[in-house]
């Protein structure tokens, strides 16, 4: 079939609503591996979080974490690439976020970016509190006045539902050298999260790096996603699909397959294989 890859998001795409891999999608991943096609999960989760849903037998070859800040082989979890914000970039970003009165977290560098410092402006923000509780043993309050002393994998801004939908674009204008990515909260599925990374971090840039390292044909690669943080990867892919549970905006811009509870991943792979490797004879 030739060396190429399937890049898939994890939650809401490959996994079902119970964060489980269906038997149908497991068979599809296994068959891809048997045919020499590289299987890559590209997730917004940190390594720590991804390990909650990926066991050693999970049938993939590489894991892109934190929207591209880390790349690992699988199942060995050897770190192949990591990117971090510099001390200066952290200071600049924190200044902008405090000026806007936003609640945010500063994640430690990969692979320990489940650990973080946090700052809140004091408003009601249930999703922010929910994440603090979830990572109770790995978080600490950010001392003020703030002075950065270390690099960071990213900053995470958590915005209550109803926040200005243009906030991402406003932060992009204020932080032009950085990658500012919007996603939907994986906790309450309603709040808006904005992730701020170095300018060379995104799922698509991680995919480009991995294809170059492995001599994979990126023009034949398949991309499957379901949320706004998949947008750049979907735009990067030549063949791309979104599952039916994706937001309306993504469903109106990319071909649609079944939702994540109905093996939309496997449907996308089947369509891609029939187009890219049509039967002969």
**pLDDT digits over 160-170, tens only?**
988 888 999 99
3-class secondary-structure state, position 134: helix
Cβ atoms of 83 and 198 within 8 Å: the answer is: yes
Q: What is the predicted pLDDT for the residue at 1?
A: 47
Q: Go through 20-59 and write b for each residue having 16 or more CB atoms within 10 A of its CB, e for each that does not.
A: ebbeebbebbeebeeeebbbbbbbbbbbebbeebbeeebb
Cβ atoms of 105 and 118 within 8 Å: the answer is: yes
Residue 281 pLDDT exceeds 80: no
Secondary structure E strands in 10-85: 38-42, 62-65, 70-73, 79-82
Q: What is the predicted pLDDT for the residue at 230?
A: 97
Assess whether the previous peptide bond of 44 is cis (omega < 30° from 0): no
Average confidence (pLDDT) over 221-245: 97
Q: What is the predicted pLDDT for the residue at 90?
A: 96
Distance of CA 180 to the CA centre of its chain: 12
Average confidence (pLDDT) over 250-257: 98
157-193: pLDDT as tens digits: 999 988 888 999 999 999 999 999 999 999 999 999 9
* Token pair in block for residue 236: 């990067």
Q: What is the predicted pLDDT for the residue at 277?
A: 76
* Token pair in block for residue 137: 């043993």
Nearest to 183 by CA among 207, 201, 156: 156
3-class secondary-structure state, position 168: helix
């Amino acid at each position: 079939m030739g060396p190429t890859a399937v890049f898939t998001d994890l939650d809401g795409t490959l996994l079902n609503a119970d964060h489980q891999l269906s038997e149908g999608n497991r068979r599809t991943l296994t068959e891809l591996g048997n045919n020499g096609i590289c299987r890559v999960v590209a997730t917004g989760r940190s390594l720590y979080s991804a390990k909650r849903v990926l066991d050693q037998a999970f049938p993939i070859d590489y894991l892109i974490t934190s929207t591209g800040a880390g790349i690992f082989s699988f199942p060995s979890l050897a770190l192949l690439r990591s990117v971090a914000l510099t001390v200066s970039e952290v200071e600049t970003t924190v200044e902008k976020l405090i000026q806007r009165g936003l609640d945010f977290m500063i994640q430690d560098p990969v692979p320990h970016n489940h650990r973080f410092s946090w700052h809140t402006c004091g408003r009601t923000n249930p999703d922010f509190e929910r994440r603090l509780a979830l990572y109770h043993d790995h978080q600490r309050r950010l001392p003020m006045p703030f002075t950065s002393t270390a690099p960071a994998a990213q900053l995470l801004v958590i915005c209550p539902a109803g926040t200005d939908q243009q906030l991402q674009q406003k932060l992009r204008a204020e932080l032009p050298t950085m990658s500012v990515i919007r996603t939907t909260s994986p906790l309450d599925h309603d709040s808006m999260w904005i992730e701020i990374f170095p300018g060379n971090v995104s799922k698509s840039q991680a995919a480009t790096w991995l294809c170059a390292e492995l001599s994979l044909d990126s023009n034949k690669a398949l991309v499957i996603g379901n949320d706004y943080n998949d947008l750049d990867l979907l735009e990067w892919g030549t063949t791309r699909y979104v599952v039916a549970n994706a937001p309306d905006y993504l469903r109106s811009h990319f071909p649609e397959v079944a939702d994540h509870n109905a093996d939309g991943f496997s449907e996308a792979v089947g369509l891609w294989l029939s187009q890219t490797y049509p039967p002969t004879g």
